[in-house]
Structure 1
Amino acid sequence: MKKQIQFLKGEAHSLKPVVQLGSNGFTEGVLAEIENALAVHELIKVKVPSEDREELKLYVEAIVRESKAEKIQLIGKTLVLFKQSDDKKIELPKK
């Protein structure tokens, strides 16, 4: 798994955030956007603009839980998520 996470971090490096939480925070609409983006891309970045570290942590936990995606990393306010689709667009290295 460690090898796969390193691989995904490398893949995510050049990505731009596709979803950004707005002033309303983590809403149903945002979750739908995240799920759609994961279905299309498998690996996405989500911008979580929160000045409060605890709030940021709660948002990240909620996003990971609700989207059922895997948290690859959190850099500053940018969360990297991965959820493999049935198509397996991203070929993961062997464990």
Structure 2
Amino acid sequence: MSLSAAQKKQYRTIGHGLNPIVTVATKGLTEGVQLEIDRALEDHELIKVKFAVGDREVKRALIKTLCEQVQAEIVQEIGNIALIYRAAQEPNPKLSNLLR
């Protein structure tokens, strides 16, 4: 599920106005955090996740691990915020950030 450059540009434009839905802190990717991110991706398809961990390399590893676990694609990573996309099985026009 690789995104084209045009899709990434479109999703970055949409993501600019979004606020982070989930924060990953020092405890890392707990089961509760993963379930919440999975639910948010199913509802919204495009979400921002904030990583409040100190080290840059730890943050990058957490983002990569998270995307592998929830089968999502990284659209953009700026500072402590990652913009993540996964197509919903049945998109809800009232919830999806892409269909509004």
Q: TM-score, normalised by structure 1?
A: 0.89
User: TM-score when scaled to structure 2?
Assistant: 0.85
Aligned partner of 1:59: which letter? Answer: L
Which residue number in structure 2 is paired with residue 57 of structure 1? Answer: 60
| Contiguous gaps of at least 5 residues in structure 2 | none
> Within 5 Å, which residues of 2 pair with 1:79-94?
79-88=82-91, 89=96, 90=98
Task: Map 1:1-95 onto structure 2 (within 5 A).
Answer: 1-88=4-91, 89=96, 90=98
Q: Percent identity?
A: 32
Gaps of 5+ in 1: none
Root-mean-square deviation (CA, aligned residues, Å) is: 1.2
Runs (4 or more) in structure 1 with deviation over 2 Å come to 86-91
Is the deviation greater in 49-58 or in 32-41?
49-58
The aligned length equals 91
Deviation at 1:38, TM superposition (A): 0.3
